[in-house]
Amino acid sequence: MHRIVIFVVIITLINCSIFKASPAIANETDELRNQQLTELASLTTNEAMLNSGERLAKSSELYFEYTLLLWPELGTYMGFEKHQDKWSDSSIARHEKYTEETNKWFNLFKSIDPTNLSKEDRLNLTILIYTLETEIAREQFDGMLMPIDQLSGIYQDAARVLAMMPVRNEHDLNNIIARLSGIEMEVTHTIEWMKLGLEEGITPPKVTLTNIPDIINNQLAVDIEQSPYLTAFASKPEMVSQQTFNSLKAQAQKIVKNSVHPSLEMLHDFVVKEYIPRSRETIGLSNLPNGKAWYTVNVQEFTTTSLTPTQIHELGLKEVARIRKEMEQSITSSGFEGSFDEFLHFLRDDPQFYFTDAEDLLREYRNIAKKADAELPKLFGLLPRTPYGVIPVPAYAEKSQTTAYYEPGSLDAGRAGNFFANTYQLASRPKYEMEALTLHEAVPGHHLQVALQQEMQDTPWFRKIPMYTGFVEGWGLYAESLGEDMGFYQDPYSKFGQLTFEMWRAMRLVVDTGIHVFGWTRQQSIDYFMANSGKTEHDVTVEVDRYIVWPGQATAYKVGELKIKALRAKAEASFGENFDIREFHDVVLGSGAVPLTILEDNINEWIAAEN
């Protein structure tokens, strides 16, 4: 799938999940928020006559407290302690206030004069303003009216967040129990948003929703001991007595049986009886009100560029033609005698390219990852401390999830990063793609980049969140291209697999824009993929459905990769034989994930300073 799953979780929870706190908690939260907004107003008028650096520091700290209060799931991801017994409040009333408050934060940071700031503070201020500007642009559209799809929503995201929470002591377990208690209300309010979306005619396409009932049923069907909502209670923490643990576990199980499961059953029935039957038949975002403008904003947010959908479509066609020639050369080098289409059928149908046992698949991914680890010092001067593992996609969701995804770890939370590999339908998981996929999701791709970003010292919190898709996914795709330097892609099939993945991202530019701007059908999109890559039909279908419900996101990969490669070419030309690949990579990753315009500025400054 080539995405970082926590982005889906956080974005969904921020924009779509609904939690109505108990009156006592709500009052406490409102009081804290009002205090923060009062201080925000004071900083905006600069009552204390602070200089720019002091204003930025105090404003950033206050914005952090506000963000954690608004989105406690972000604290879970980052390993912070505050508000871990709460979910986000994204009720309709809260959402209206949030839109107003976002503009206030934007005005505050925009009012800070950057002239006398340090270089690093100017970058911090630029990123804050850019982020808030992007959020304001997104707020003009109605994404909150579509709180679930086949990839995310309360029916999947709550379990994911619970599984990330630390389990060290009684306090941690009580936080989990508090969140379990809030899921029923989350589901209730999610349904309210869905009903409003139906009234406005704003829903995900019907064709993408058909697996949701099965995903919900898969969670309900397992024995309570195996519930994805109770992973924290699988074993007793050392700091908790057996008696206390047994009592808390029984309490948690009771909540899951009497509250979580009935609420999921209610969601299931609503999806089956009302949501799917009344959801739209069309698939393009342009079919929704103001859809073309909505899609353009999405594309520019995800790519962090000003590229138009038409420019991206044309770039995709150009890249598809270029990569197709390389693929044909790879076929020739393999010794295969036959057409391109015949070679694709050979790859899809020959059993030599597929495992028949899930554990064998996972074992091979781990072997590839271990080999990649040993090659990293050749290409990077700085490596992360956070470890990572390779684990299967949860069974309840595997049918609708794509090939793989990465979930970041957190040293603060004592959590390793994880590369999730899909073991569903092994005949759709070819061996020749495994090297490129591992390099993308683990190292030197997502894990290396995200872990380094999280571990940056003396860096404000908002710089440690890998939120810019053009950079993050562009780096992941660029990381695949480093495979030859690392000793991978030695046989022609593996090389063809790497080219298939690159082709996949190029075709995304064509298909994503095709669906959402140029009126492509779902089948047309599937056929285009099948004609130009060795991907299996199941994998292609799941991917196309992903582009349908996540408009614009898939365009970021190729755009980001091409920018990184262009900057590397520029540096190589400038330094000549003195070009140091390790230093280049350290500069690219040194500021964390940033908009591509800022990345270009960073590289240009490095080149100028060294020359």
Measure the CA–CA gap between 378 and 363, rounded to whole angstroms: 25
* DSSP-derived secondary structure for 20-65: ---HHHHHHHHHHHHHHHHHHHHHHHTTT---HHHHHHHHHHHHHH
Pairing of strands 417-421, 388-392: parallel
Token digits of residue 51: 């200089």
pLDDT of residue 12: 36
pLDDT of residue 518: 97
The residue written with tokens 């700091």 in the block is 239
pLDDT of residue 27: 66
pLDDT of residue 405: 92
538, with CB counted inside 10 A (0-12, 13-18, 19+), is middle
Distances (CA, A) of 188 to 87, 262, 516: 14, 11, 31
pLDDT of residue 7: 41
Token digits of residue 452: 């380094």
pLDDT of residue 301: 96
- Tell me the sheet residues that pair with 611: none
Token digits of residue 264: 């999921």
pLDDT of residue 16: 34
pLDDT beneath 70: ranges in the chain: 1-27
pLDDT of residue 13: 35
Sheet of strand 404-407: strand arrangement: 388-392, 417-421, 404-407
Nearby residues of 43 by Cβ (< 8 Å), 6 or more positions away: 50, 55, 58, 59, 62, 108
Token digits of residue 342: 């015949």
- Give the sign of the dihedral formed by CA 315, CA 318, CA 321, CA 325: negative
Token digits of residue 558: 């190729």
Measure the CA–CA gap between 480 and 178, rounded to whole angstroms: 42
DSSP state of 421: E
Measure the CA–CA gap between 204 and 147, rounded to whole angstroms: 9
Q: What torsion, rounded to 10 degrees, do the Cα atoms 417, 423, 424, 430 define? A: 120
SS3 state at 173: helix
Q: What torsion, rounded to 10 degrees, do the Cα atoms 179, 184, 189, 195 define? A: 150
Pairing of strands 404-407, 388-392: unpaired
pLDDT of residue 199: 97
- Tell me the sheet residues that pair with 417: 388
How many CA atoms lie within 13 Å of 262's alpha carbon, on the beta-carbon side? Answer: 10
pTM value is 0.91
DSSP collapsed to 3 states, 348-379: HHCHHHCCCCHHHHHHHHHHHHHHHHHHHHHC
Report whether 284 contacts 309 (CB < 8 A).
Answer: no
pLDDT of residue 396: 84
Report whether 40 contacts 70 (CB < 8 A).
Answer: no
pLDDT of residue 535: 84
pLDDT of residue 28: 75
For residue 444, say if its preceding peptide bond is cis, omega within 30 degrees of 0: yes
Pairing of strands 417-421, 404-407: antiparallel
Nearby residues of 9 by Cβ (< 8 Å), 6 or more positions away: 73, 77, 152, 157, 160, 161
pLDDT of residue 26: 57
Token digits of residue 77: 């991801």
